[in-house]
Amino acid sequence: MADPALTTTDPFLGAARAILENTFRLAALADETRRMLLETQLKGVQGHLESVQKSLHRFADASDWPAMQAAQAQAMSDQAELQAALASAYGKVFADATSAWFDQCRECGNDWTQRAQATNGAGNGQAPGIFGPLSMSLAEFYERIGKMTTPFVMVPPAETPARTRAH
C-alpha cells in the first residue's frame, strides 16, 4: 500500500501509481497466459510429431491390406486422442487464466479502495475526497466482477446445501 504521508500530500501521484501498478499487474497476467498457451501449443505439436512418427512405423511395417487398414484406424484414433487432450489443455489454460484475471481484478479493486481511503480520509468520518466519485465507480465495477466469478467457484459436495443434493 502507498505511503500515507505521500498520498495526503500528493493524492494524484498515489492515484497514478495505483493505476499504473494495476495496469502492469494485468499486463503481466496477460503475458503469463500467453506463455501458458504457447507451452500448450508446443506440447500439442510435440505430441503430433510423435504420433506421426508412430504412424509412419505402423505403415512401414504393414505387410498386407488388413494391417494397412488397422494402421489407418490406429492413426485416426491417435489423432482424435491428441485433439481431445489438446482441447482439454487449452480449456484448462483458459479457465485458469479467467480465474486469475478475476482474482487480479478483485485485488486491484481492494488496492484502489485502500489507497483512495488513505487519500480521501474516507472511513474516518470525513466526506469523500477528490477521488470519491471515481472510487465509488471502481468499487461498483469490481463488485460486479466479483459477482461474475460466482459461477466459476466450485463448491465442495460437503458444503452443498441438502436441498440441491436431493435433486
The pLDDT profile of the chain, 167 residues, written as one tens digit per residue, is 445 544 556 778 877 888 898 889 989 999 999 999 999 999 999 999 999 999 999 999 999 999 999 999 999 999 999 999 999 999 999 999 998 988 888 888 777 777 766 666 555 555 556 666 766 776 677 667 766 655 555 444 555 455 454 44
Query: Which pLDDT score, from 0 to 100, does residue 162 have?
Result: 53
Query: Which pLDDT score, from 0 to 100, does residue 167 have?
Result: 47
Task: Report the Cα 20 to chain-centroid distance in Å.
Answer: 20
Residue 113: all three cell numbers together: 479502495
Supply the pTM of this predicted model.
Answer: 0.69
* Residue 166 belongs to a domain: no
* Residue 158 belongs to a domain: no
* Residue 65 belongs to a domain: yes
Q: Which residue has the cell 478483485?
A: 106
Across the chain, which distance is largest between two alpha carbons, in Å? 88
* Residue 33 belongs to a domain: yes
Q: Is 58 exposed, middle or buried (0-12, 13-18, 19+ CB in 10 A)?
A: middle
Instruction: Name the domain count of the chain.
Output: 1
Distance in angstroms (rounded) separating the CA atoms of residues 129 and 90: 45
Query: Which pLDDT score, from 0 to 100, does residue 15 have?
Result: 78
* Residue 156 belongs to a domain: no
Query: Which pLDDT score, from 0 to 100, does residue 96 have?
Result: 93
Helix/strand/coil for 115: helix
* Residue 86 belongs to a domain: yes
For residue 95, which phi and psi values (nearest 5 degrees)?
-65, -45
Structural domain including 86 reads 10-121+128-150
Distance in angstroms (rounded) separating the CA atoms of residues 98 and 92: 10
* Residue 79 belongs to a domain: yes
Distance in angstroms (rounded) separating the CA atoms of residues 85 and 46: 13
* Residue 159 belongs to a domain: no
